[in-house]
Amino acid sequence: MSLFKARDWWSTIVGDDEQFDQGCMCVGNLDNHSSGTDKIVVGSYHGYLRIYNPRPVKTENGNEGFRPEDVLCETSLNAPILQVECGRFVSSAEGMYLAVLHPRKLSVYNLLSTSGAVEHGSHYQLKLVYEHKLQRTAFNFCSGSFGGVKGRDFLCIQSMDGTVSVFEQESFAFSRFLPNALLPGPICYVPRTDSFVTVSSSRCLESYKYQVLAVATDTRTKEESQMLKSGKRVAAEWELGLCDQALDIHVTSFNNSQEAIYVLGERNVYMVSEVGKLLMMKKFDFNPSCFLPYASVDDGQINCIIATHTKTLLIYQNITLTWAAQLDMVPVALCVGKFQDSEESQLKGVIVSLDEMGHLQCSYLGTDPAMFTAASSEVRELDYTELDAEMRQLQKAIKEQQSKSAPIVPTQAAEDEIQIIVSVPPDLDDVSVATNLEIEDEEKVPSLTVKISLKARSHLTDVKVHVHAPAPLASNESLISFASLEPNHPGETQVSFFMCHGFLPSQLKAHITATYQSSSGAPRVVTSQIKLPLKLVIKAVLPIKTATYKITVDTNKPPVNLNDIFPELLGESAGGPGNALGFCVYGLDSVITMLASKTSQRYRLQSDDFASMWPLLSDLLLRLKSYFRVGQTSSDFKITYEGPLPLQEYFEVLDKHFECRLNADKYSHLLEERAAQFRAIQRRLLTRFKDKTPAPLANLDTLLDGTYRQILALADAMEENRKAQQRAAAALSCATHTLNHLIQLWKDLSAEEFSILESSLITSVDDNGDQGWEEIVDASITHLLRTCMAKSAKDQTVNPSPLNLLKDTTKLKKHIALLCDRLGKGAKLVVEGYKPVTSPTTTEPSKPIRPSMPASHSKSEQQKKYKPIPTTLNTKKHQEASSFDEPTIPTGSRFGEKKSPSAQGPIGGGRSGSDYLKRGGSTGDAVNSVPDLDDLGAPEVADQPLVNGVDELVYGL
């Protein structure tokens, strides 16, 4: 920060909520007053033009500042003002006129003064002298005595496409397209060489002779020339490469110094001679916003004022910093003018600055003398008794003030000043507003519009509402701002949610976050959740008879008609028996079939995609609990899972995700190698081209082209793998949700145990960091196996291992299987000092029953059922039965199927399940052709219960 501050001489705010930029201000003797004092002309992008004549009145406390009579003229031109400039633009007069550039026209005005009849002063008005219609959208312009004309100023307008049009005052001269023009840049006129200097989009400072541009056109009329369909090719007189993009250009032509071209870049300032030779360059460690060179009092020296984005004004003499002053704004335009300080004196060298919001300030450098004189201190003896009494009085006042004022840190019992109320309609939108979809589906992707209301307890300002919809869901609004909220006028808005991406949704909860500042000035955050309906992402289809993956849950209540618990997702199954429904996620092909038994109190989900069953499984559990608990006095409804855990199916999903991560790492290394190779070939080619004695390229150009094609192919492959990894991450999240809930139902986990399980086998898959999901889960489960689930105190250890990228998933799968094995043997997930945190995706807590065990089976007999754990994983695929009469059903499913010795596999490998729906008919048969689960027959061996709900463990580490 500067030691000194720019002294405010006169300031005001131009307009209300208007925007300004670099060319929106100029200074000059626009009314041609005999005193020669300057006037300030300001034009805004909103089309308003204002002319000021600062005349502050000195008082005892300093200058009075802005007065209404300082405004000479204010008018609306009904078009955005891009740039204003003062000059001799009229051929019939020698006075100063005002040129105003609009996007499609150039206007020249005269400021007329009419003396007042009374003491109210003069009256000013703008009179249009002439204007030129433009065929192309203008960007900026410059003025000067083109062609060496004396006493007159011509205008050169640069268009958005790089075309320059020259107007010799009231008449049009010619238009010319600058070569290699992609984006327009700053432009200025150099009188000594009679040329234009501009900066191209390739960061080159280019100079074009006026005479070369004038003779390069072969059109005759103004319209033909501005359309610019033909003409000779022009060449730059000289070019100079810059290090960064130019922000502004000025030409210095002072009497006591040499003529030079100053260019302000994003990090540098350049001083270039009129023939393109670099004279000086100064590198900055800050970001400049604008600059202005001006003449120095010393001969041969040029001063340069540079404004920065840190609100600092720096004065350089050549490359030496001579002064620095602090401003109250970030200027976008700077000028130096001469103004009337009093009736007899003038103030020269006033710095005029304008920022983008319209703060106009006239200031000067230096300091004001301090008139304060410190009083001499009195030497007296200290009275410690009086000091102690004063200290006690101050402490008492501080305590009273603290008790009255609101605490900065909110307490737990403090109420929020904003209440978020969300209204979710029961039906989807009649006309979907889903946009920017990345999925393709036969049906229109639906949307749901919810109403969000904010009720404030007091007056609040600048309240921002953030809407977060978890992928693959999206919303049409992500940030909503409220300027103010009143207690009697709640803020309301509507947000639409829809399915946007083509992968599985792991949760259907959107988060609404409101940020604001309390009445005491402390920041506050209020959050709320929106439970979105299942029909937003799933549609009803016909059920299928065959499926690869199956999940079965048992209850202790009579079976429920599926039409009663899924009334909004019946589709073509409406009016059926209600024991079979089919569903499909929008944008995906896999069909999820839900079956309900009529007498055996079982429900089954089956699909060809294991992960896709999670949204239906979660919703089924919630709806069953809601159905049996509403209107009933007893709440003894139980849901259990007694089948083998689908670990093998889960590991398949895990391997797909890990494979995508390995591919991403491989593509990244390959792309890095190809990029290094591409740069090396470029260096060799550049050396060959610069060599004075040309040498053969030795097929380097062919190698360069081939490497470039490989880089493009690798980039495309990385993008495809990124999308595949995103789909795999969503599938892994859904599969992890499924496995956690099945373990909870299987082992009757408490809320605390289930929270620890979800904290270890996490359901949120984030691939943005260095440590992936596999490394985090492996470390978490390893910690559980070494602490609360250790076999003995000897095995307990808490030494963490580094989180490095796994080479394969064998170790992780062994740890997950061992976790399930120890849970099956009765281990408890209890961590000392752990407090369960409700997960945003957990369902309503319900304590499932444990699998019943006959009294005749002792603990020792249960342990005998487990065989030693082998060191290899069983990856044998599920083979469907060839006949429905002799099915091979996973052992322990208790559907009444016959036990199959070949199915007595591991916890996750018992997927030899029979295709019990394969009884005849095609996949698209009606609902009535889908058999009931009770048709599979009764068990042959009913007196052999499962050990803890699973069979013998032959799956191990």
Q: Which residues are paired to 591 by β-bridges?
A: 584
Q: How confident is the model at residue 226 (pLDDT cuts 50, 70, 90)?
A: low
Q: Which residue in 5, 1, 54, 19 sits closest to 333, CA to CA? A: 19
Higher pLDDT: 859 or 420? It is 420
Architecture of domain 431-532: Sandwich (2.60)
Distance in angstroms (rounded) separating the CA atoms of residues 733 and 84: 60
Q: Which residues are paired to 455 by β-bridges?
A: 419
Give the angle 797-802-807 at the CA atoms, nearest 5°.
115
Question: Is residue 612's pLDDT more than 80?
Answer: yes
Higher pLDDT: 464 or 258? It is 464
- Tell me, what's the pLDDT at 625? 85
Q: If 0-12 CB within 10 Å is exposed, 13-18 middle and 19+ buried, where does residue 142 land? A: buried
Q: How many CB atoms lie within 10 A of CB 896?
A: 18
Q: How confident is the model at residue 235 (pLDDT cuts 50, 70, 90)?
A: confident
Give the angle 265-266-271 at the CA atoms, nearest 5°.
20
Higher pLDDT: 702 or 828? It is 702
Q: Which residues are paired to 238 by β-bridges?
A: 207
Q: Which residue in 174, 180, 188, 12 sits closest to 83, CA to CA? A: 188
* Range of 167-171, 765-769, 876-880, 914-918 with top mean pLDDT: 167-171
CATH 2.130.10.10 fits 4-367, yes or no: yes
Q: Which residue's entry shows tokens 């209204």?
A: 423
- Tell me, what's the pLDDT at 564? 84
Please compute the mean of the pLDDT values over residues 32-46 and round it to a whole number. Answer: 90
The pair of structure tokens assigned to 855 is 């009294």
Question: Is residue 866's pLDDT more than 70?
Answer: no
Question: Is residue 679's pLDDT more than 90?
Answer: yes
Q: Which residue in 776, 747, 742 sits closest to 759, CA to CA? A: 776
Distance in angstroms (rounded) separating the CA atoms of residues 316 and 920: 92
Rg (CA), the chain: 40
The pair of structure tokens assigned to 602 is 């079982």
Chain segment 79-112, per-residue pLDDT in tens:
999 999 999 999 888 889 999 999 999 999 999 8
Element (DSSP H or E) covering residue 680: helix 647-690
User: Residue 218's Cα: distance from chain center in Å?
Assistant: 51
CB environment 591-627: b (16+ within 10 A), e (fewer) = bbbbbbbbebbbbbbbbebbbbbbbbbbbbbbbbbee
CB 515 within 8 A of CB 454: no
Q: If 0-12 CB within 10 Å is exposed, 13-18 middle and 19+ buried, where does residue 398 land? A: exposed
Please compute the mean of the pLDDT values over residues 700-728 and round it to a whole number. Answer: 92
Sign of the C-alpha dihedral, residues 430, 431, 437, 439?
Answer: positive
Question: Is residue 931's pLDDT more than 50?
Answer: no
Question: Is residue 392's pLDDT more than 50?
Answer: yes
Q: How many CB atoms lie within 10 A of CB 34?
A: 6
Distance in angstroms (rounded) separating the CA atoms of residues 49 and 77: 7
For residue 914, give Cα distances in angstroms to 569, 606, 649, 880, 887.
Answer: 28, 12, 16, 5, 5
Question: Is residue 138's pLDDT more than 90?
Answer: yes
Distance in angstroms (rounded) separating the CA atoms of residues 127 and 104: 19
Omega of the bond leading into 331 within 30 degrees of 0 (cis): no
Residue 151 backbone zone (phi > 0: left; psi -120 to 50: alpha; other: beta): left
Chain segment 58-77, per-residue pLDDT in tens:
776 667 778 888 898 999 99
Q: Which residues contact 512 (CB under 8 A, 6 or more apart)?
A: 420, 422, 452, 465, 466, 467, 468, 527, 528, 529, 530
- Stretch among 382-386, 514-518, 709-713, 873-877 having the lowest mean pLDDT: 873-877
Please report, rounded to a whole number, the percentage of residues in the chain having pLDDT higher than 70: 78
Higher pLDDT: 572 or 272? It is 272
- Tell me, what's the pLDDT at 573? 62
Q: Which residue's entry shows tokens 């003002």?
A: 81
* Range of 56-70, 166-180, 568-582 with top mean pLDDT: 166-180
Q: Which residue in 936, 933, 927 sits closest to 582, CA to CA? A: 927
Distance in angstroms (rounded) separating the CA atoms of residues 98 and 260: 26
Q: How many CB atoms lie within 10 A of CB 554?
A: 22
Chain segment 874-896, per-residue pLDDT in tens:
333 333 333 323 333 333 333 33
- Tell me, what's the pLDDT at 578? 77
Strand runs (DSSP E) across 522-629, as ranges? 523-531, 538-541, 549-555, 580-585, 591-596, 602-607
Domain edges within the chain? 4-367, 431-532, 536-640, 672-861
Strand runs (DSSP E) across 574-704, as ranges? 580-585, 591-596, 602-607, 639-640
- Tell me, what's the pLDDT at 352? 93
Q: Which residue in 584, 567, 586 sits closest to 576, CA to CA? A: 567
Helices (H), 240-324: none
Q: Which residue in 638, 657, 634 sits closest to 727, CA to CA? A: 657
Q: Which residue in 158, 119, 167, 162 sits closest to 140, CA to CA? A: 158
- Find the largest Cα–Cα distance for the chain: 120
Q: Which residues are paired to 335 by β-bridges?
A: 352
Average pLDDT across the chain, whole number: 78
Sign of the C-alpha dihedral, residues 53, 57, 62, 68?
Answer: negative
Chain segment 459-504, per-residue pLDDT in tens:
888 899 999 998 889 998 889 999 888 888 888 999 999 988 888 8
Grouping H, G, I as helix, E, B as strand and the rest as coil, residue 583 is: strand
Give the angle 94-95-99 at the CA atoms, nearest 5°.
110
- Tell me, what's the pLDDT at 901? 34
Q: How confident is the model at residue 133 (pLDDT cuts 50, 70, 90)?
A: very high
Distance in angstroms (rounded) separating the CA atoms of residues 680 and 725: 32
Give the angle 109-115-117 at the CA atoms, nearest 5°.
145
Query: With DSSP H G I counted as helix, E B as strand and the rest as coil, what are the percentages for the chain, rounded to 5?
Result: 25, 30, 45
Question: Is residue 860's pLDDT more than 80?
Answer: no
Helices (H) and strands (E) in the chain — how many of each? 11, 45
Question: Is residue 862's pLDDT more than 50?
Answer: no
- Stretch among 171-185, 235-249, 399-413, 859-873 having the lowest mean pLDDT: 859-873
The pair of structure tokens assigned to 258 is 């040499």
What's the pTM value of the predicted model, to 2 decimals? 0.51
Question: Is residue 632's pLDDT more than 60?
Answer: no
Question: Is residue 856's pLDDT more than 50?
Answer: no
Distance in angstroms (rounded) separating the CA atoms of residues 694 and 681: 17
Q: How many CB atoms lie within 10 A of CB 856?
A: 8
User: Residue 466's Cα: distance from chain center in Å?
Assistant: 12
Distance in angstroms (rounded) separating the CA atoms of residues 615 and 620: 9
Q: Which residue's entry shows tokens 């984006």?
A: 183
Distance in angstroms (rounded) separating the CA atoms of residues 226 and 319: 42
Q: If 0-12 CB within 10 Å is exposed, 13-18 middle and 19+ buried, where does residue 769 land? A: exposed
Q: What is the DSSP string of 463-488?
A: EEEEEE--TTEEES-SEEEEEEEBTT
Which class does domain 536-640 fall in?
A: alpha beta
For residue 225, give Cα distances in angstroms to 220, 221, 423, 474, 554.
Answer: 7, 6, 62, 51, 85
Grouping H, G, I as helix, E, B as strand and the rest as coil, residue 832 is: coil
Distance in angstroms (rounded) separating the CA atoms of residues 134 and 141: 13
Chain segment 325-378, per-residue pLDDT in tens:
988 899 999 999 988 877 777 888 899 999 999 999 999 887 665 555 555 556
CB 177 within 8 A of CB 155: no
Chain segment 718-752, per-residue pLDDT in tens:
999 999 999 999 999 999 999 999 998 888 888 88
Chain segment 294-328, per-residue pLDDT in tens:
877 666 678 899 999 998 999 988 788 888 998 88
CB 494 within 8 A of CB 465: no
Grouping H, G, I as helix, E, B as strand and the rest as coil, residue 491 is: strand
Question: Is residue 441's pLDDT more than 60?
Answer: yes
Q: If 0-12 CB within 10 Å is exposed, 13-18 middle and 19+ buried, where does residue 371 land? A: exposed
Element (DSSP H or E) covering residue 305: strand 302-308
Q: Which residues contact 628 (CB under 8 A, 6 or more apart)?
A: 557, 637
